[in-house]
Amino acid sequence: MFRAMPATTSLARKPGRGGARIALLDAAHKLVRLKGWTATSVDELCAEAGVTKGALFHHFASKEELGIAAAQHWSDVTAPLFANADYHRKTDPLERLFGYLDFRAALADGPLEHFTCFAGTTVQEIFATSESMRAACGATITGHAATLAGYFEAALVQHRPAGVTAQSLALYTQTVLQGGFVLAKAMGDRAPLLDGIAHLKTYLRLLFREKHA
């Protein structure tokens, strides 16, 4: 999912029987993270997926409908990546969170479009023009935050810092990550993202310091 991909598009190999829909969703993930939603044309999506326009409109009534499905597909294809990561082996829930953040930093490798978020990239463009896509991208981002909230809840139970909730910490983590993606693109360098993750880890250490050495 986050491996290096060519920066330019070309006519892809025709997908196998029944594979056109997934090929189009994968093409959307690749091209939108590189070029943005508006700049990515239907023709380019079809060329990248190796399908015809007829195939696209067979599976999706419009480009917008493709975008809605691509937001959900982003959750579907990234969830196993996180679910199978080594940080789940850590028994202390706070150390598990630090492991998660280290994992996010390790993913930030290669060109920016290879590790930035499809949902976050798309929603910045369409939040005021497509309510359905805004909701779909928002659900993708907050859905991942809900997983993090479970980690934070376990850490709060064990270490008991005051004045915070698991939900607020999970959303704050997403704020740091999504903001890091934006600044990385603005500056053409992954450093703002890595710095943001490092500062978040420092904040969590301070927050939990009374119960966690």
Q: What is the model's pTM? A: 0.88
**What is the 3 state secondary structure string of the chain?**
CCCCCCCCCCCCCCCCCCCHHHHHHHHHHHHHHHHCCCCCCHHHHHHHHCCCHHHHHHHCCCHHHHHHHHHHHHHHHHHHHHHCCHHHHCCCHHHHHHHHHHHHHHHCCCCHHHHCCHHHHHHHHHCCCCHHHHHHHHHHHHHHHHHHHHHHHHHHHHHCCCCCCHHHHHHHHHHHHHHHHHHHHHHCCCHHHHHHHHHHHHHHHHHCCCCCC
In CATH, the number for domain 67-207 is 1.10.357.10
- pLDDT > 70 in the chain, percent: 90
pLDDT tens readout for residues 174-193: 999 999 999 999 999 999 99
pLDDT tens readout for residues 76-134: 999 999 999 999 999 999 999 999 999 999 999 999 999 999 999 999 999 999 999 99
More confident residue, 161 or 48: 48
Residue 56's pLDDT is what?
Answer: 97
More confident residue, 203 or 160: 203
Task: Please determine, for residue 33, whether its predicted confidence score (pLDDT) is greater than 70.
Answer: yes
Q: How confident is the model at residue 3 (pLDDT cuts 50, 70, 90)?
A: very low
Average pLDDT, the chain: 91
Task: Please determine, for residue 212, whether its predicted confidence score (pLDDT) is greater than 80.
Answer: no
Residue 1's pLDDT is what?
Answer: 39
Task: Please determine, for residue 203, whether its predicted confidence score (pLDDT) is greater than 80.
Answer: yes
* Domain boundary assignment for the chain: 67-207
Task: Please determine, for residue 8, whether its predicted confidence score (pLDDT) is greater than 70.
Answer: no
